[in-house]
Structure 1
């Protein structure tokens, strides 16, 4: 939820600065130049900000602790990629506290939108404030921490829809294909847009015939769900180009190009704490070349008109950019 800390952020909206702790952040920057024309108004639809923990404390119930990633680093990333707009998503490490996300949004101004994490204690007044500040959806995380039981996922999804339907927000899910299959009837009947992160949890090595992928494609084809073709390195182990993710992306785009958006997943957090480490130990960020990642988009979508839908038109509609 928005906290009293977030109410203080207005004083720094005009000029976000890094302190000595933030300066040690190690978030990746593109090493490869973009090799195709990026249309005006392009949007990176999946990023996170990891602020100074003295100002933005991590959630006690988190399952990992990431390195820091600042708004300045994010701006440098998008300058290198020729990306104008951004969607900042509250990661699980903050629980229902969206202050760090708001911090990043304020640094970017009108070119940013946010996706919040809330719980049943988040009051409607906080949602009112979030809407005014550019939040346009809530994220339901059914992946990090291992929520795989449909008897848990179904009521959580239904409760999320109820919280946002009067506002016209969307519900974003980080989950698995098996969970998508288990809730597909609820998604098909949802009165609000539904957005699946990171290829819907599909694994590139298993191909387009893997269990549950057909259900995801069906929801996209019918217009009942959006999918972020984001974080290809989460679906594929064949870096740095993640070639085996191409059939997944191509199948989703072919199903309905009007329901596909793209994102980096910057700063690429590793959400798995090694067995010999404590949750409070810092887990290094993945070092992903986002230039090379973005250069896969013409492979997945050769037509410039389709890429414009994915990078510009669909984000404008989903997130309310003008």
Structure 2
């Protein structure tokens, strides 16, 4: 039986957003947001995890203006599966300030991939939540095939994965020869049995491999513990390899669009007071990774 979808809340009023508490660098980039559109134009997957959020481009551009963001990366949500039409249409509407991360089938034809690249796509998102029941070896084979495809296009792969899958993949990922990004700080939840030792192994992968980590969705890690519980993790990630860390808002914060995106941005200011490091995370690193 399909699960009952979460109900997406209305969008927070933009005049209530916290403003940046630190000086924003030029070309600051939100490296993880999701775009949605009318259901009549963009049908969702058969059993979505949530109802259609209020996540259109117009409101997001207002948010960018309020938070002094100049660039953004659209990450394909599970809501649309491998149907990337909404993402591509949004990229085309936004122009050169935007990049995209698609979800694709392995047999996607070359003409479609070329069209995606010209629109601004620079990565493929691998939904390892959907494959978490597979043997680790099969997941590794899938990653190898997709990483090879991405390398041929000049793209990278991004992992949307539960922390215990990330933990099991760390020895394999240490040998991956192309860039890859792990969403949501590795998603290593205590509730899923992840330990401090597991997180230290992830930091070693960040230091010594081709891994990048995304400072995104701290509320998915904090759960009911509050953001202070996430700060030590974020600070260790930044200290380990600030040149391979990016920041993302996870807008529109599914299913709770009442969240204060400005507050989430200001967490970065609390995690590092160094303006040079903040410029790396917000501007320099995403520019390099997403070919701006």
Question: TM over 0.5, yes or no?
Answer: yes
Displacement of 1:60 in angstroms is 2.0
Does 1:140 pair with 2:126? yes
Displacement of 1:301 in angstroms is 1.0
- TM-score after normalising by structure 1: 0.81
- Counterpart of 1:81 (choices 54, 64, 67) is 67
Contact 2:182 2:211 in 1 (8 A): yes
Matches within 5 A, 1:8-27: 26-27=10-11
- Superposed CA RMSD: 2.3
Q: Which residue of 1 aligns with 2:111?
A: 125
Contact 2:106 2:146 in 1 (8 A): no
- TM-score after normalising by structure 2: 0.89
Q: Which residue of 1 aligns with 2:39?
A: 53
Distance 2:31 2:217 in 1: 11
Alignment CA distance shift 1:223-1:155 (3 Å): closer
Displacement of 1:258 in angstroms is 0.5
User: Which aligned runs of 4 or more in structure 1 are off by greater than 6 angstroms?
Assistant: 204-208
Number of matched pairs = 282
Deviations 1:176-218 (A, max 9, x none): 2221222223322223210000111123789995352122111
Gaps of 5+ in 2: 1-7
Alignment CA distance shift 1:148-1:228 (3 Å): farther
- Counterpart of 1:174 (choices 156, 160, 171) is 160
- Counterpart of 1:264 (choices 249, 273, 281) is 249
Displacement of 1:48 in angstroms is 0.4
Deviations 1:290-317 (A, max 9, x none): 1111111111111000000000010011
- Counterpart of 1:309 (choices 257, 263, 280) is 280
Q: Which residue of 2 aligns with 1:218?
A: 204
Q: Which residue of 1 aligns with 2:265?
A: 294
Deviations 1:66-97 (A, max 9, x none): 32311001101111110000000111111111
